[in-house]
């Protein structure tokens, strides 16, 4: 039996833990509690886990009642060399202004360079302030405990320097606020920051309504997606790859809770690590990563063959139980709420494309709505309609891009014009495939659907919506987006009617279309057809075309 040096609080905490847990002799943060409960869910029945959560909650309330952390204004310690750092920054900005006066740089460059100096200065003071605060400081304890009480961003304003602020239109005010709340703001600084603060408060109030409306529309469209059977029998799936561009969620986290559609094979040894039909648990996911499996084909709601609802295997886990989803679970409503609820946390951010601040680039909640509505975005990048070799010619107006496909007869040639304001993403003599974007910017989902097909359009919408959420640190499982996109692409447009009672141009669900055709075929009649490239979806957008 070994001796452990610990304290009373940790003894009280460890007393709550059920058998099977080793002694935890460290501070347990909010993320630590999450990991602990996840582990308990794997080891014990849900009734026992519920009791454990209650015990931890009671101990937390007891501790907060008898101790508590009070924050004093003097806990906001100011670093001694703050003044020197600010003076250095002022000298740099003065030199930038001199260069502008002499005509060496443009007004836009002057603003950008000055803003960069102040952003770096604010960051430097904030980092030094954080490092100088002692571990027993109540503010440090509050921030370290996690949750939504306070963060380093709040500490920066209290003890370091508020820095650059935005006006009500979201533009950066060039004059930074050099003071912090501990020192107090000057009259100018107070008035300048009040404008942005008021904008923030009104935005929060208005944005909540927009997020609620998005949730309502998503529920409206997906409420009939319910788990109805064990397995639809499909062998199709979607590919999840490691290191996908624009995705920050790790590969292991994206495959957990899925059912494999085919064997997962190691990249180097070609050894089978997991078989088709296996559930990807945390253990299997770590095994895949350890054996250098870089891509897997998994079952997906997008590929489910059921006419109505979804099957268990195409959906995978219900993350509230970490087990396969049960029959009757309304996964459509769950998907809608999982996407809509975090909408309030999405903030409008100014996007930097190639170092240039572009004011009319849509981000946050409006970008999510734009994607679901299949609208043509601003700052649109043209995409190639054919596969071939690129020739780029720069003119005074912009770039003339020519794509030649010499591998077919007669030779295919397409020309595109890209304005000088856009940053090219292609090089001279580069071989590209149909659907490749020519410049940095957003793609039109309707164009992606027309040129690249339904699967590429679905993948683009999932990647782009996830990029908006992940930029704010919000993690939503891909399958929720897949459930919504299944409904988005659930309509077909009738082209020829055959012996059916349909009318050309009819806009009906895929399941109903297949039902009508099956009836006609059973009677020896001629089936109807749909517009090519539109067999499983429509480019008419989301909420306008998926009710019914």
pLDDT, position 146: 66
Token output for 525: 């009649």
Question: Distance between CA 488 and CA 546 in Å, rounded?
Answer: 6
The average confidence (pLDDT) of the chain is: 85
Q: In what order do the strands lie in the sheet with 388-394?
A: 412-419, 398-405, 388-394, 431-432
For residue range 216-235, list pLDDT tens digits in order: 999 999 999 999 999 998 99
Q: Tokens 């803003």, residue?
A: 115
Q: Tokens 């960051």, residue?
A: 123
Question: Distance between CA 62 and CA 441 in Å, rounded?
Answer: 53
pLDDT-above-90 percentage for the chain:
38
Helices (H) and strands (E) in the chain, counts: 17, 17
pLDDT, position 398: 83
With residue 58 as reference, give the H or E element that holds it: helix 46-66
Rounded to an integer, the average pLDDT of 324-336 is 95
pLDDT, position 359: 39
Lowest average pLDDT, out of 73-82, 136-145, 302-311, 471-480, goes to: 136-145
Contact 196, 166 (CB under 8 A): yes
Burial of 419 (0-12, 13-18, 19+ CB in 10 A): exposed
More confident residue, 190 or 268: 190
What confidence category does residue 542 fall into, taking pLDDT thresholds of 50, 70 and 90?
very low
pLDDT, position 54: 97
Domain 73-185 fold: Topoisomerase I; Chain A, domain 4 (1.10.132)
Other C-beta atoms closer than 10 Å to the C-beta of 504 total: 12
Q: Tokens 């993403």, residue?
A: 425
pLDDT of 148 > 80? The answer is no
pLDDT of 545 > 80? The answer is no
pLDDT-above-70 percentage for the chain:
93
For residue range 173-202, list pLDDT tens digits in order: 888 999 999 999 999 989 888 887 887 788
pLDDT of 300 > 50? The answer is yes
What confidence category does residue 349 fall into, taking pLDDT thresholds of 50, 70 and 90?
very low
pLDDT, position 279: 92
Question: Distance between CA 342 and CA 298 in Å, rounded?
Answer: 26
Query: HEC states along 175-244?
Result: CCECCCCCCCCCHHHHHHHHHHHHHHHHHHHHHHHHHHHHHHHHHHHHCCCCEEECCCCCCCCEEEECCC
What confidence category does residue 362 fall into, taking pLDDT thresholds of 50, 70 and 90?
low
For residue range 51-84, list pLDDT tens digits in order: 999 999 999 999 888 877 788 888 888 999 999 9
What confidence category does residue 533 fall into, taking pLDDT thresholds of 50, 70 and 90?
very low
Token output for 478: 């891909």
Q: What is the pTM of this model?
A: 0.75
Specify the CATH number for 345-482; select among 2.40.50.100, 2.40.50.140, 3.10.450.750, 2.40.30.110. Answer: 2.40.50.100
pLDDT, position 199: 78
Question: Distance between CA 138 and CA 75 in Å, rounded?
Answer: 7
pLDDT, position 351: 38
For residue range 496-516, list pLDDT tens digits in order: 988 988 999 888 888 888 889
> How many residues belong to the chain?
548
More confident residue, 332 or 143: 332
Token output for 151: 């963060």
CA distances from 517 to 2, 306, 444, 547 (A): 75, 16, 33, 22
Would you list the domain boundaries of the chain?
8-64, 73-185, 227-329, 345-482, 490-548
Look at the alpha carbons of 307, 308, 310, 311 in this order and tell me if their dihedral is positive or negative: negative
Give the pairing type, strands 529-530 and 388-394. Answer: unpaired
pLDDT, position 548: 33
Q: Which phi and psi (to 5°) does residue 114 adopt?
A: -60, -45
Contact 183, 104 (CB under 8 A): no
For residue range 390-448, list pLDDT tens digits in order: 888 888 888 888 888 877 878 788 888 888 777 888 888 888 888 888 888 889 999 99
pLDDT of 360 > 70? The answer is no
């Amino acid at each position: 039996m070994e001796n452990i040096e610990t304290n009373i609080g940790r003894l009280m905490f460890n007393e709550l833990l059920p058998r099977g847990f080793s002694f935890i002799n460290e501070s347990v943060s909010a993320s630590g509690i999450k990991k602990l409960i996840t582990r308990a869910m794997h080891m014990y029945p849900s009734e026992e886990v519920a009791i454990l959560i209650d015990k931890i909650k009671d101990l937390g309330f007891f501790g907060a009642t008898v101790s508590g952390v009070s924050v004093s204004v003097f806990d906001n310690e100011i670093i001694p060399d703050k003044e020197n750092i600010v003076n250095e920054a002022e000298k740099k900005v003065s030199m930038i202004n001199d260069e502008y006066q002499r005509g060496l740089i443009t007004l836009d460059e002057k603003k950008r360079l000055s803003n960069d100096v102040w952003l770096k200065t604010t960051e430097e003071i904030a980092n030094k302030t954080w490092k100088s605060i002692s571990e027993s400081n109540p503010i440090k304890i509050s921030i370290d405990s996690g949750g939504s009480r306070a963060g380093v961003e709040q500490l920066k304003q209290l003890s370091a320097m508020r820095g650059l602020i935005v006006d009500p239109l979201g533009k950066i005010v060039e004059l930074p606020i050099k003071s912090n709340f501990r020192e107090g703001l000057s009259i100018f600084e107070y008035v300048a920051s009040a404008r942005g603060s008021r904008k923030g408060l009104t935005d929060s109030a208005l944005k909540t309504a927009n997020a609620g409306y998005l949730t309502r529309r998503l529920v409206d469209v997906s409420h009939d997606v319910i788990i109805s059977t064990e397995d639809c029998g499909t062998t199709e799936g979607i590919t999840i790859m490691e290191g996908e561009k624009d995705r920050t969620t790790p590969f292991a986290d994206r495959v957990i809770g899925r059912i494999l559609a085919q064997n997962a094979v190691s990249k180097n040894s070609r050894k089978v690590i997991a078989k088709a039909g296996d559930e990807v648990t945390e253990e299997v996911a770590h095994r895949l990563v350890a054996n250098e499996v870089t891509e897997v084909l998994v079952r997906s709601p997008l590929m489910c063959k059921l006419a109505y609802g979804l099957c268990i295997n195409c959906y995978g886990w219900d993350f509230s139980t970490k087990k396969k989803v049960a029959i009757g679970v309304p996964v459509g409503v769950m998907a809608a709420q999982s996407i809509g609820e975090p909408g309030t946390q999405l903030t409008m951010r100014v996007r930097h494309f190639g170092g240039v601040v572009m004011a009319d680039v849509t981000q946050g909640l409006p970008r999510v709505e734009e994607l679901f509505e299949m609208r043509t975005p601003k700052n649109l990048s043209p995409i190639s309609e054919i596969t071939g070799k690129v020739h780029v010619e720069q003119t005074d107006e912009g770039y003339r891009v020519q794509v030649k496909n010499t591998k077919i007869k007669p030779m295919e040639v397409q020309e595109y014009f890209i304005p000088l304001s856009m940053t090219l993403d292609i090089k001279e003599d580069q071989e590209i495939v149909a659907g490749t974007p020519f410049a940095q910017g957003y793609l039109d989902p309707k164009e992606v659907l027309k040129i690249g097909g339904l699967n590429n359009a679905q993948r683009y919408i999932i990647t782009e919506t996830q990029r908006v959420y992940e930029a704010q640190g919000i993690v939503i499982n891909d399958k929720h987006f897949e459930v919504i996109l299944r409904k988005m692409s659930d309509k077909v447009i009738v082209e020829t009617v055959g012996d059916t009672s349909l009318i050309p141009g009819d806009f009906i669900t895929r399941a109903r279309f297949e039902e009508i055709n099956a009836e006609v075929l059973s009677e020896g009649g001629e089936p109807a057809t749909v517009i090519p490239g539109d067999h499983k979806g429509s480019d008419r957008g989301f909420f306008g075309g998926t009710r019914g």
